[in-house]
Amino acid sequence: MSAIPNVPETDHRHHGSREHDLDNIASDAIPQMATKRVDSPTNAAYNNATSTFTLHDTVIENQRPIKVIVVGAGYSGIYHGIRIPERLRNVELTIYDKNAGVGGTWYENRYPGCACDIPSHSYQYSFNPNPNWSSMYSPAAEIQAYLESTVKKYSVDRFIKLRHEIKSCRWDAEASKWFVQVEDLEAKRTFEDSSDVLIMARGGLNHIAWPQIEGLRSFEGEIMHSAAWNQEYDFTNKRIGVIGSGSSAIQIIPSLQRLSGTHLSCFIRSRTWISPPFGQAIQDKLKMDGFKFTEEQKKKFRDDPEAFFKFRMEIEEGGNEIHELTIMGTDMQKGAQKHFEENMKTRLQKKPEIYDWLKPSFAPGCRRLTPGPGFLEALVEDNVDFIRTPITKIEPKGIVTEDGTLHEIDVLVCATGFHTGAPPPFPVTGVDGIALPDHWEQRATSYLSLATDKFPNMYMMLGPNSAIGSGSLTMMIESVGDYVIKCVRKLQKENIKSMTVKAARVRDFLAYSDAYFKNTVFMDD
């Protein structure tokens, strides 16, 4: 049966090889045996008479020693730190992270208002539910604390090396290993590590993207990025310039607008849909006040596991149901646009012109939906200027727009996100020295989002075509992580040196993905 629906299957297996292809590891398939001649006269005589096939003389559940390097200690890296020692034996595991703490994006992003943009109870590990979330959309500090407590609970910290930044990764075909250059940021030294398997779990929200604007560094006031926040800075009574309209800006603007004496100049170039908050029906059912859980509700979650599980499933099902919104022409998709338009108009009625500036031409869901509680309400306040005129340059005293206006400010906030391109910011070279950016020069390609051809024994978390428009990201992390761990187990159990997906399978998956996306909002302009 083909690994991709509707794509004919061709049997390309080659018995007698220790190099295996990723598309041959279906969990319900009979494992292909690695070959090694057995010194048995009976076996040899039989093979000489009838076949060249020989059995590998080893214990069935023998799991050879293997080393795994994981890049990143966020949700994905922590998951591997839990599951690999649970499910595999004889694994030497090292998780490298450049930060001084675990958590990935939740360690780095500490701006005011930073919070989960989906309900907290569907943004946690399925096996480690937290009954104590303070609100439907928990703040970053709570998510960070949850990840830290998870690391301690499952002893993942024994595998993690913090303040260790990956500088390069190189596949050596002769050794069938990855050689990884690592910089110890504390000791200020660089060393080489090696592994049989390399798992990229670095995520996409960690490589800061500063705006490319003339004179940015000439500004004389305080300047900061949403992912490099100065928590000591006092914003009260300040004139604040905010550049950006993505998820971080949508959370930052209402938080700063509420501070005493502030005046915000918001430079918003991109249009975006602001969705009503997810989980509204459940909020109404529980009679929640502003998405906050009461102590009584949290106690019930702690004391009644069955009720807590039912609540979590309601949250998760609600998020999954929104998937229909991404399919063009469905009743939900058409109804959502009308609902979003009415909701935004109502929330912007004090300054209706902002709606005309903000409304996108693309359908809701084309860009990941952002609830943004308080964002639209902040834009209509008297201490906020909504500026659509493009920026031409930045001067020591402020920001100059195309109409020649100098907008004087005391502090500049760049909520301009991250470089989210598929290749990591460090060199990765695969078979015959091919660099990953060159391999993906035309288009980032993958098989099931988790592997690509010419890069043996390398797996990616949240790789190309992995992003989802709705639902739980952590459930996807767990599913992909489980698949990767099965790959590692196959390498061990069958004594396979390297395993790579075929280029044909990558093309099949790309064709399948393209055919699927044709009928979705993701193809909208």
Asked if residue 355 and residue 228 are part of one domain, the reply reads: yes
Q: What is the pLDDT of residue 22?
A: 54
Q: So what's the pLDDT on residue 46?
A: 46
Inform me whether the pLDDT recorded for 13 exceeds 90.
no
φ/ψ region of 343 (left if φ > 0, alpha if ψ in -120 to 50, else beta) reads alpha
- Percent of the chain topping pLDDT 90: 66
pLDDT-derived band of residue 368, with 50, 70 and 90 as boundaries? confident
Residues 470-493: tens digit of each pLDDT: 778 899 999 999 999 999 999 999
Residue 117's pLDDT band, with cuts at 50, 70 and 90, is confident
**Residue 283, CA atoms < 13 Å, CB-side half-sphere:** 15
Q: Tell me the mean pLDDT in the region 51-74.
A: 85
pLDDT of residue 15: 36
- Give the pLDDT confidence score for residue 21 in this predicted structure: 56
Same domain, residue pair 119 and 51: no
Instruction: Evaluate if residue 116 carries a pLDDT over 80.
Output: yes
The larger pLDDT score, comparing residue 148 to residue 32, is at 148
- Mean pLDDT of the residues in the chain: 87
Query: Looking at the structure, do residues 232 and 371 belong to the same domain, yes or no?
Result: yes
pLDDT, residue 467, reads 74
* Axis-axis angle for helices 140-153, 75-87 (nearest 10): 20
pLDDT greater at residue 325 or residue 52: 325
Higher pLDDT, 282 or 425: 425
The pLDDT, as a whole number, for residue 50 is 65
- Residue 6: pLDDT above 60? no
Identify the pLDDT of residue 337.
Answer: 86
Q: Which of 366, 511, 494, 392 is nearest to 56 (CA)?
A: 494
User: What secondary structure letter does DSSP report for 114?
Assistant: -
pLDDT at site 49: 54
CB 306 within 8 A of CB 149: no
Q: Once rounded to an integer, what is the mean pLDDT over residues 36-61?
A: 56
- What mean pLDDT do residues 51-62 have? 74
Q: What is the pLDDT of residue 161?
A: 99
What percentage of residues in the chain have a pLDDT greater than 70?
Answer: 88
Q: Minimum mean pLDDT among 94-98, 129-133, 176-180, 421-425: which range?
A: 421-425
For residue 393, give the CATH number of its domain. Answer: 3.50.50.60
Q: What is the pLDDT of residue 357?
A: 93
Distance CA 439, CA 505 (A): 15
- The pLDDT, as a whole number, for residue 29 is 40
Query: 173 vs 118, which has greater pLDDT?
Result: 173
- Rounded CA-CA distance 402/405 in Å is 7
* Owning domain of residue 287: 280-314
Determine, yes or no, domain membership for 370. yes
- Residue 471: per-residue pLDDT: 75
CA distance 25 to 354: 53
In a domain, 5, yes or no: no
> Is 45 inside a domain boundary?
yes
**Cα–Cα dist 300/106, whole Å:** 28
Q: What is the DSSP letter of 426?
A: S
Please, where are the H alpha helices in 100-233?
105-108, 140-153
Write the DSSP assignment of 192-219 as a string of letters. Answer: EEEESEEEE---SS-SB-----TTGGG-
Amino acid in the structure at residue 149: S
- 404 in the same domain as 269: yes
Same domain, 98 and 199: yes
* Statement to judge: residues 378 and 245 lie in one domain: yes
Q: Quick one: 289 and 221 in the same domain? A: no
5 has a pLDDT exceeding 70: no
Asked whether residue 271 falls in the same domain as residue 403, the answer is yes
Phi and psi, residue 497, nearest 5°? -75, -45
Q: How many CA atoms lie within 13 A of 273 on its CB side?
A: 20
Note whether residue 132 is domain-resident. yes
Tokens representing residue 248 in the block = 């971080």
Average pLDDT score over residue span 342-364: 92
Asked whether residue 1 carries a pLDDT value surpassing 50, the answer given is no
Please tell me the total count of domains within the chain.
Answer: 4
Residue 61 in domain: no
Q: How confident is the model at residue 285 (pLDDT cuts 50, 70, 90)?
A: confident
SS3 405: coil
Q: Which helix (H) or strand (E) holds 225?
A: strand 222-225
Amino acid residing at 294? T
Final residue before a domain boundary, out of 394, 414, 434: 414
Cα–Cα distance, 23 to 508 (Å, whole number): 11
pTM: 0.87
Site of tokens 């959370």 = 251
pLDDT of residue 12: 38
Q: In this structure, which amino acid lies at residue 229?
A: W
Mean pLDDT for 38-44 is: 41
Model confidence at 382, in pLDDT bands (50, 70, 90)?
A: very high
Residue 455 pLDDT exceeds 80: yes
State the first-to-last Cα distance of the chain, in angstroms, to the nearest integer. 36
Q: Are 515 and 55 in contact (CB under 8 A)?
A: no
Whether residue 348 sits in one domain with residue 431: no
Bigger pLDDT: 58 or 186?
186
User: Are the CB atoms for 514 and 319 separated by under 8 Å?
Assistant: no
Do residue 266 and residue 122 come from a single domain? Answer: no
Contact by Cβ (8 Å): 104, 74 = yes
Q: Is 255 exposed, middle or buried (0-12, 13-18, 19+ CB in 10 A)?
A: middle
Q: Are strands 164-172 and 177-184 parallel, antiparallel or unpaired?
A: antiparallel
Tokens representing residue 364 in the block: 């809701």
- 290 lies in the same domain as 431: no
**Is pLDDT at 31 greater than 80 in this prediction?**
no
Q: Does 7 reside within a domain? A: no
The answer to whether residues 242 and 266 touch, using CB atoms and an 8 Å cutoff, is: yes
263 shares its domain with 389: yes
**Between these two residues, 212 and 24, which has the higher pLDDT value?**
212
